[in-house]
């Protein structure tokens, strides 16, 4: 039973949250080829529910260091870290599992250079933000995002997606099954590349999600929605969008946290 519980904890370790059986088969020592690991900050680990046993809960810090995102006609390489902190755990008596969101941090990236090199007034930036829905059901990381499109002329409330109508990602280290014209792509299973804390390296993917149209663009009233949608090719149906996240995931049980 102890081994089974330990594997259940491990099952939530990666942002991919593959099954405990798969992670249970991983080597416990770092891979031979040393990776340059990102830093992992556990300060955003969320509080546990009342009565939860800290021995059966772990905080996961998933840092995406590379990959790409295609949303409609916008395709960008991930060059700045995206960090997701969340907790997975379960009740050792009922075996009921839970996932708790901690934080999501992502820098903005430039999607259109400014005229004559201007980085402020005419350049357009986009910043992914958390939009709810975090869970690890089905061995995938299910994560809702929205994208804040930033430009002085667009106002401060220009978004692609929203909490009510998000970009719903189902990230997997396995193989996708998208509608056409996209074809299946595969992530990579997790491998241990660091210890103290344990660090996993993986690639998780999704190319079967849809992207909704923009809203709130232009004086915060939506008068420029059409321009953003035209530029970005939105709304974009499932089968036309792709997310590839190259990640490192570190985790600690709550008994190991300060």
Cβ-based neighbours of 160, under 8 Å, separated by 6 or more: 71, 126, 146, 147, 149, 167, 211, 212, 213, 214, 228, 232, 234
- pLDDT, the chain, mean: 86
pLDDT digits (tens, 9 = 90+) for 20-38: 222 333 444 455 457 789 9
Domains of the chain, by residue range, sit at 2-253
The pLDDT of 62-70, averaged and rounded, is 97
Is the model's pLDDT at 42 over the cut of 80? yes
Q: Which structure tokens are listed for 177?
A: 């099954």
pLDDT, residue 122, reads: 64
Contact 28, 192 (CB under 8 A): yes
Q: What is the CA radius of gyration of the chain?
A: 19
Rounded CA separation 225/164 (Å): 18
Q: What is the dihedral of CA 92, 98, 103, 107, to 10 degrees?
A: 120
pLDDT, residue 24, reads: 33
157 burial (CB, 10 Å; 0-12 / 13-18 / 19+) is: middle
pLDDT digits (tens, 9 = 90+) for 177-207: 999 999 999 999 999 999 989 999 999 999 9
pLDDT digits (tens, 9 = 90+) for 46-58: 999 999 999 999 9
The pLDDT of 6-22, averaged and rounded, is 38
- Confidence band of 7 (pLDDT split at 50, 70, 90): very low
């Amino acid at each position: 039973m102890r081994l089974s519980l330990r594997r259940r904890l491990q099952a939530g370790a990666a942002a991919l949250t593959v099954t405990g059986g798969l992670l249970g088969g991983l080597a416990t020592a770092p891979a031979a080829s040393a990776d340059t690991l990102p830093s992992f900050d556990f300060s955003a680990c969320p509080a546990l529910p009342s009565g939860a046993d800290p021995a059966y809960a772990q905080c996961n810090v998933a840092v995406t260091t590379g990959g790409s995102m295609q949303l409609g006609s916008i395709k960008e390489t991930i060059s700045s870290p995206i960090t997701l902190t969340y907790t997975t755990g379960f009740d050792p008596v009922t075996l009921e599992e839970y996932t708790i969101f901690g934080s999501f941090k992502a820098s903005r990236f430039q999607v259109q250079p400014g005229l004559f090199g201007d980085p402020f007034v005419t350049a357009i930036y986009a910043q992914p933000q958390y939009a709810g829905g975090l869970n690890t059901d089905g061995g995938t990381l299910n994560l809702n995002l929205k994208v804040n499109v930033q430009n002085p002329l667009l106002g401060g409330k220009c978004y692609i997606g929203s909490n009510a109508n998000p970009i719903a990602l189902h990230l997997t280290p396995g193989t996708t099954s998208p509608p056409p014209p996209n074809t299946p792509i595969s992530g990579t299973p997790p491998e241990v590349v660091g210890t103290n804390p344990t660090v996993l390296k993986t690639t998780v993917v999704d190319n079967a999600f849809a992207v909704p149209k923009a809203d709130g663009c232009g004086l915060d009233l939506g008068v420029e929605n059409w321009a953003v949608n035209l530029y970005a090719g939105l709304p974009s149906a499932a089968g036309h969008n792709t997310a590839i996240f190259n990640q490192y995931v570190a985790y600690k049980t709550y008994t190991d946290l300060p």
